[in-house]
A = this chain, B = another copy of it.
Amino acid sequence: MSQAQEKRRPGRRPGTADTRGEILAAARRIFAEKGFDKATIRGIAREAAVDPALVHHYFDSKEGVFVAAMQLPVDPGKVIPAILSGPRDQIGRRLATLILTITSDAQAREPVMALMRTAMTNEQAVTMIREFITRAVLSRAADTLGVPPLRMEAAFAQMFGIVMMRYIVKLEPLASAEIDEVIDLVAPTVQRYIDGD
């Protein structure tokens, strides 16, 4: 951390208990204002009046900052490579299992739902969410698998729709179905989009 940065806000010490929280608050402002693509670690550090190295130290990457700032239950940068690296003919099942397992936990689900609620009602937030989904999730999967982006988006739309209908609209029997039954139902759909059938 540079002395110059520190001097901007007198009394601030690097890495105090609330430095991490202040970086995240700054990140939420920057992401909302600039979107995900145009936000930078440097810009977030400036907003929080800390050295960019400290942001890197805490969160590793811009994606890591976003995941922490939005309290997302998983970092796509970590789980997606793991999902994609297994047998290709089981990717649909692994993706469906991951998404349905994470969202089955109410505490893990809530921040994702909060983000979707915001997206529905706030045009600025939509840009940030669209760019994050595109960069961190869909482009990564489409590139790694060699699947056309439109097909990855259809697969994503299927999983998104299932989560919304299960947990927000609470359609029955979907809302009360065992998670394995839901996985069996949608995994073949996701797999077909990946296979190009």
Q: What is the CA–CA distance of A173 and B154 in the complex, to the nearest angstrom?
A: 11
- Shortest CB distance A157–B (Å): 3
Q: Mark A112-132, 1 if CB is under 8 A from B, else 0.
A: 000011011100001001100
Judge whether A162 is part of the interface by a CB distance below 8 angstroms.
Answer: yes
| Across-interface contacts of A186 in B (CB, < 8 A) | 154
From the candidates B138, B154, B156, B171, name the one contacting A133 in the complex (CB within 8 A): B171
User: In the complex, are the beta carbons of A126 and B173 less than 8 A apart?
Assistant: no
Interface residues on A, range: 35 or more
Contact with B along A65-91 (1 / 0, CB 8 A): 000000000000000000000000000
Q: How many Å from the CB of A120 to the closest CB on chain B? A: 5
Query: At the interface, yes or no: A174 with Cβ under 8 Å from chain B?
Result: yes
Q: Which of A135-189 contact B (CB under 8 A)?
A: 138, 149-151, 153-154, 156-162, 164-165, 168-174, 177, 181, 185-186, 188-189
Q: Would you give 21 A-B contacts (Cβ < 8 Å), ordered by A?
A: A117-B120, A119-B169, A126-B170, A130-B170, A133-B169, A133-B171, A149-B173, A150-B177, A150-B185, A153-B173, A154-B158, A156-B161, A156-B165, A157-B161, A157-B162, A157-B164, A157-B174, A158-B158, A158-B189, A159-B161, A160-B164
